Amino acid sequence: MTEQSALLQRRQRLLGRSYRLFYQQPLHPVKGEGVWLYEADGKRYLDAYNNVVSVGHCHPRVVEAICQQAAQLNTHTRYLHDSILDYAERLLALFPDALNNLTMTCSGSEANDLALRIAREVTGNRIALVTRWAYHGTTSSIAELSPSLGIGAGDQVRLIDAPG
């Protein structure tokens, strides 16, 4: 058994089927730096997908900010704290006045769940168009918009081919 086969079996056993891998030949990065992902053998891949396209992997200022905050306080938004309010003010200053508050989420699944709830509230529509192999997250409402999970689309989902 190859090292990759053993890792794939271990992953399947420990994480289960809902954690899907990308690509027929799964990528096994061990390091990220800037726009690059690196495998153990040093082979690098340009990463224009993985949640970091705006600042890159391991950006020194982001790493420093994370370390400073974790050394001081690591909590959530259910307590009063100046830092979250300072950040919210700086962020909201970038947008039109009509966008005057924000909701923080902890994951892409939560963000997509919130976006779906807002879209349904604003439009009154319940049907969602989803590309056939899409992945949007694992919350209950978003999982039905994630056909790549293999659990079947809900009755309010219409699958379409990806634009070509």
For 108-156, write each residue's pLDDT tens digit: 899 999 999 999 999 999 999 999 888 888 898 898 898 888 777 778 8
Q: Is the pTM of this model over 0.85?
A: no
Q: Is the same domain home to 80 and 127?
A: no
Residue 124: left if φ>0, alpha if ψ -120 to 50, beta else—which one? left
Q: Is the same domain home to 98 and 59?
A: no
For residue range 4-15, list pLDDT tens digits in order. Answer: 889 999 998 998
| Domain assignment of residue 3, given as a range | 1-74
Q: Is the same domain home to 84 and 94?
A: yes
